[in-house]
Amino acid sequence: MSGKKAVLEIKGLRTQFFLREGVVTALDGIDLTIYENESVGIVGETGCGKSMTAYSILRLVPHPGRITAGSIRYKGIELTTLDQDRMRSVRGTKISMIFQDASTALDPVFTVGDQLGEVISLHQRVYDKKALQKKVIEALMLVRIAAPEKVITMYPHELSGGMKQRVMIALALSCSPSMLIADEPTTALDVTIQGQILKLLKALVAKTGSSMMLITHNLGIVAETCDRICVMYAGRIVEDAETFELFERPSHPYTVGLLSAFPKLGVKQAELPVIRGTVPNLMKPFKGCSFVDRCDKAMEVCAHKRPPRVEVSPGHFVSCHLWSGGERPGGT
């Protein structure tokens, strides 16, 4: 990765929810850098902090949650302390987000043409009505919507799930963001449409030269779509490597467990397998490794000392005590 420019640099990010019952540490020291033109996948079980990572970057963490430590830099600009106006402009023009459910992002009372037109006129400064309509149609063609002239007059509820998702992608890309965050963008769609949308996303990201953070609990999707994969567990990134490397040499016992039911790259649509035990309660702070209770290889040190992040080979990072001594976990 050396020589590549970082678009997003996250260091020591902690996001917590302050509830009456106690403090939930949703993100517990996230370190993550995304470079130019790179697609990074974030995988992990439900509740491990994938969405909160995205919301923290965009400063959209819902109340009573907030960022309590760490730094998020976008091209050198610190986002955690940026004022609201500038943050809004980052959200509108630099970092776009695609949500799992398009219905939350599309306004039900405006037509597709109105919604896309508003964003395009704002960002590309097109005000002439004819010119704007042409741009809107182009944006819909880019996401391969058939009969765009008809679709611009339609309301969100008149569109299928796949079409809504395409419109949302068109909206997200119409401001030419340098970073696209897609949070489970295809989970609500059927498998065939999922594949089409992911292919489209991948092609558009390559074409526009933006970086992508793709969040999913589906290993098959990141394997096919992303250059690099971060594996999250209980609010932490436990392993981070290029896709091929991660599948060839998974090094954290949690990743090894995830991949054991997923032997080959290229196997489609594999959901995460079930690993014994359950995700820990994030209201209890961990002194040591968050995976200790579910790990077959746990040692004494794992319960009381947080494993350091070790670079086991160039660009391949693992946070596990098995690696602190430089030894590869055996037997898998």
Ligand X SMILES: Nc1ncnc2c1ncn2[C@@H]1O[C@H](COP(=O)(O)OP(=O)(O)O)[C@@H](O)[C@H]1O
Q: Which of 95, 201, 275, 282 binds ligand X (CB under 6 A)?
A: 282
Sequence-distant (6+) residues with CB within 8 A of 303 are 287, 288, 289, 292
CB of 147 to Mg ion, least distance (A): 33
- E-strand stretches of 86-173: 95-98
CB of 302 to Mg ion, least distance (A): 27
User: By C-beta, is 50 or 164 nearer to ligand X?
Assistant: 50
Query: Is position 15 an interface residue for Mg ion (rule: CB under 5 A)?
Result: no
Binding residues for ligand X, rule CB under 6 A, total: 15
Query: Of ligand X, Mg ion, none, which one sits near residue 162, judging by CB under 5 to 8 A according to partner kind?
Result: none
Candidates 48-56, 199-207, 264-272, 309-317: pick the segment binding ligand X (CB under 6 A). Answer: 48-56
Paired with 180 in beta bridges are 96, 212
Query: Of ligand X, Mg ion, none, which one sits near residue 41, judging by CB under 5 to 8 A according to partner kind?
Result: none
Cα(22)–Cα(26) distance, integer angstroms: 12
Helix, strand, coil content of the chain in percent (nearest 5): 35, 25, 40
Tokens of 89: 């402009």
Query: Of Mg ion, ligand X, none, which one sits near residue 317, judging by CB under 5 to 8 A according to partner kind?
Result: none
Quick one: CA torsion of 246, 208, 191, 138, rounded to 10 degrees?
180
CB of 231 to ligand X, least distance (A): 12
Query: Is position 48 an interface residue for ligand X (rule: CB under 6 A)?
Result: yes
Query: Of ligand X, Mg ion, none, which one sits near residue 252, judging by CB under 5 to 8 A according to partner kind?
Result: none
User: By C-beta, is 46 or 313 nearer to Mg ion?
Assistant: 46
Give the count of alpha carbons within 13 A of 63, CB side only: 0
Cα(328)–Cα(15) distance, integer angstroms: 31
Residue for token pair 């769609």: 189
Give me the DSSP letters along 259-277: HHT--STT--SPBPPP-SS
CB of 107 to ligand X, least distance (A): 24
Query: Is position 254 an interface residue for ligand X (rule: CB under 6 A)?
Result: no
Tally of helices (H runs) and strands (E runs) in the chain = 13, 12
Cα(142)–Cα(271) distance, integer angstroms: 30
Distances (CA, A) of 234 to 41, 190, 281, 283, 305: 17, 28, 8, 11, 16
The interface with ligand X within residues 23-42 (CB under 6 A) comprises: 24, 26
CB of 161 to Mg ion, least distance (A): 18
Query: Is position 51 an interface residue for ligand X (rule: CB under 6 A)?
Result: yes
Q: Which of 172, 181, 174 is nearest to 10 (CA)?
A: 181
User: By C-beta, is 115 or 225 nearer to ligand X?
Assistant: 225
CB of 216 to ligand X, least distance (A): 10
Q: Which of 25, 51, 53, 218 binds Mg ion (CB under 5 A)?
A: 51
Kindly list the strands in the beta sheet with 236-242, ordered across the sheet, starting from the edge strand earlier in the chain. 95-98, 179-183, 211-216, 39-43, 228-233, 236-242, 316-319, 309-313
CB of 295 to ligand X, least distance (A): 19
Q: Which of 1, 4, 22, 46 binds ligand X (CB under 6 A)?
A: 46
Query: Of ligand X, Mg ion, none, which one sits near residue 177, judging by CB under 5 to 8 A according to partner kind?
Result: none
Question: Interface with ligand X by CB under 6 A: which residues?
Answer: 17, 19, 24, 26, 44, 46-52, 62, 65, 282
Question: Interface with Mg ion by CB under 5 A: which residues?
Answer: 50-51
